[in-house]
Amino acid sequence: MGKYVHRLSRCKVRWIKNLLIRGFAWFYCVNKSEAAAEVPKGYASFNAFFTRELKAGVRPIDSRPDSLLSPADGVIAQSGYASAGKLLQAKGLEYSAADLLGDPGLATKLANSAFATIYLAPHNYHRVHMPMGGVLERTTFIPGLLYSVNARTTAAVENLYALNERLVCQFRNNDGPFALVLVGAMNVASISTAWAGEITPPPDRSVMRTDFSANESLRFERGDYMGHFNLGSTVVFIAPGEDIEWLQAADGGERVQAGQRIGSHTNQAQL
C-alpha cells in the first residue's frame, strides 16, 4: 500500500495532482492562506503541497530565552516525565523509552527524562522544527509497523510508538543528549531530514539503518527546520527532565503550533 501512496503523492500530472490537492484541502479544511505558494498551482505534486513551507512570519518563534518550543503543529497527546524509563502513551498505557529509541544506552541516559508527544493531523503543517538548540549526533531508522496514531489507536494499542516505523534523531547540548523521534503511521511513505534528504526504508525492513553519524558538528538552533513527514504522523521529544517544566497538564489535548512555547528550561545557558 505504501509504495502506491508514494507514487500517487508524487504524481506530476497536472489534473491529477490538482484534484488531489483541492480535494484534500477542502476535506480537511487546510488553511491555504498560510502556504508560501499558490494552492494548487504552486505545487508540482500532492506531496510538495503536503510538505509545504509557510509564509514568512506565520509561525513566530517564542523569543523568551527560557522557552522550550513545540517542534510541530498538532495536538499534545501527552507530556510529562519518565518513570523508571517508561513514557505515558495514553491513560493507563506506558511504553519503554529503550524500545522507542532502539538504544538502551541512550535510554539509560534519558531515564529521568521529560517528554512531549505531538500528534500531527492531516490538515496540519507537517514540517518539524527544533524545540531547543543542539548538535546532531546520529540518525537511525528503526523498522516497524504502520499503525494509525490517532487518539483511538493510541488508547488501544500497547507500545504503539515503539511498534511503528520511526526515525530517531539524536542531538546533544550542554545539558546532555536529547532526541526527536519521528514516528511513521498508516500511509506515511517516508520521512525527510534537513541533513540527509528523504530517508526511505531499506529493502529488508527488519534491518536497522544508520543514515547519519556525525563526523563533524551540525549545529541547529532553536526553531530551525529539521525535517518533515511525507504524509503522517507523530513527534516524540525526549530530553533530560531535571530543568524542564511543562506548561500544560500531562494528559494533553492542547493544540499547539511550531515555535510556540510549551515549556520552560530553567538552565537557560544550555540552550
Q: Which residues are catalytic?
A: 73, 129, 233
60-88 in b/e form (b: 16+ CB < 10 A) is ebbeeeebbbbbbbbbbbbbbebeebebb
Alpha carbon 82 to its chain centroid, in Å, reads: 19
Tell me, what amino acid is at 224?
D
User: Any residues with CB less than 8 A from the CB of 109 and at least 6 apart, and which?
Assistant: 176, 177
> CA nearest 39: which of 23, 58, 27?
23
* Amino acid symbol at 165: E
Residue indicated by cell numbers 520511526:
166
CB of 46 closer than 8 Å to CB of 9: yes
